[in-house]
Amino acid sequence: MGNDQIAQPLSTAAPHRTAARGTSVAGRARWWLLDRIGALWALLTGRPVSLYAASVLRIGYGLLYLVFLLREFPHRHEIWGPDSPWTPALAQQLFDQTGWNSILVLSDSRAYFELCYVLALVTSALFALGWRTRAMSVLFAVVVTSFHARSIFMTDGGDNLILLMALYLVLTACGRRWSLDARRDRLKTARTGSAPEPERSFSTRHLSDARARLVTVVHNCGIFVIAAQVCFLYGSAGLYKIQGATWGGGTALHYALNLELFQPWPALSHLVDAYPMVIAIAGYVTVLLQVAFPFVLFGKLKYPVLAALLGMHAGIAVLLGLPLFSGAMIVADAVFLPDRFYAFVPQLWRRATQRTGMSGPAPGRAAGSGSVPSQGGPSASGSKHRAVPAQNGTTPTAGRTSHQS
């Protein structure tokens, strides 16, 4: 009887122990999933990511399209204007079928076209400079869309990529770094100094916080979409190349170099074509880089891959005569470089120029410049921790870290 009484709890304890173990596994999976969702939400809403990269994209595509419009200035009437064989009437018929539209077909007047072209040049320049970036990004997207749609049969991959990036950049806060807007904000902050902020009501404060959160989320989503677009572009291009017999046989670049349409310098193309082994290796490396690109973005291997892609696009620009496409791809690759890289480059440049004596000390570090706020409260003047005055052209070391951050 005693044995029966002892065995009964043991037999009933095993299912409870198994159930508890299953519950713990399910609980750990649930907590892991919630943790991942929380980390993703914090990434989207915490702070804007890749602000320097977004600014590089703004500057790159603004300057690239400005150079493109200036390059085609002598031929503007034949490409987009009244003298184009693709007349506004034909363009309007295509728009009715595809849903596209363009401001260039609103009038057949030559004066109207010249005005639109000048406005496109000004818009591209102001967008690259970052002047009123929110409005200029929308106008830049309208300009690129209108010119692309007006002569859609004369475009290439570079135009398509610039069009996509112009639309995506509308979502980003691409004017917060390296722009006239950022300079204006710094000057405004320097003028106000440590003046107390005016009291705001509860609703105004919450409305401002909600607006800042919404801008952050939209910016981060725009950056992620740009990165996904570039990954999809490289991955799909590599997979399409794998299916081709010429890429598998290593002869694809040989045929490309012998096309008269893609020979800006025939002598150079023939010189490169004289090394078939180099051409075959370059073709295999191109396919490998494009297929592997989406899988190396989360490690340090992406830096040599990006450097190799930079060389590949430079070769395409020179050998095949596609500078617009190569420039668009090089600028798009900049989104994968972290902000610490872009913040380190100016510091490296300043150090190099100071060592060679090309420039003076960095701005804002001179004694008495007011760039470092006063430390402590009203009694700080009587504290024993006093700032050492500058001597022999040097500056106090106190607060230098906060200035760099």
pLDDT tens track for 232-244:
999 999 999 988 8
pLDDT of residue 245: 87
Distance CA 404, CA 399 (A): 9
**308 three-class SS:** helix
User: CB–CB of 241/286 below 8 Å?
Assistant: yes
Nearest to 137, CA basis, from 110, 176, 87, 183:
176
User: CB–CB of 185/135 below 8 Å?
Assistant: no
Q: Residue 3: is its pLDDT beyond 60?
A: no
Q: Residue 227: is its pLDDT beyond 90?
A: yes
Distance CA 357, CA 353 (A): 6
pLDDT of residue 107: 86
Looking at every residue in the chain, the average pLDDT score rounds to: 81
pLDDT of residue 283: 92
Q: Domain-by-domain residue ranges, the chain?
A: 47-185+210-226
Residue with tokens 């009244």: 82
The half-sphere exposure of 346 on its side-chain side, counting CA atoms within 13 A, is: 10
φ/ψ bin of 375: left (φ > 0), alpha (ψ from -120 to 50), beta (otherwise): beta
Name residue 337's amino acid.
L
Per-residue confidence at 121, pLDDT binned at 50, 70, 90? very high
pLDDT tens track for 142-178:
999 999 999 888 877 788 899 999 999 999 999 998 9
Per-residue confidence at 354, pLDDT binned at 50, 70, 90? confident
The arithmetic mean of pLDDT across residues 396-401, rounded, is 38
pLDDT of residue 353: 79
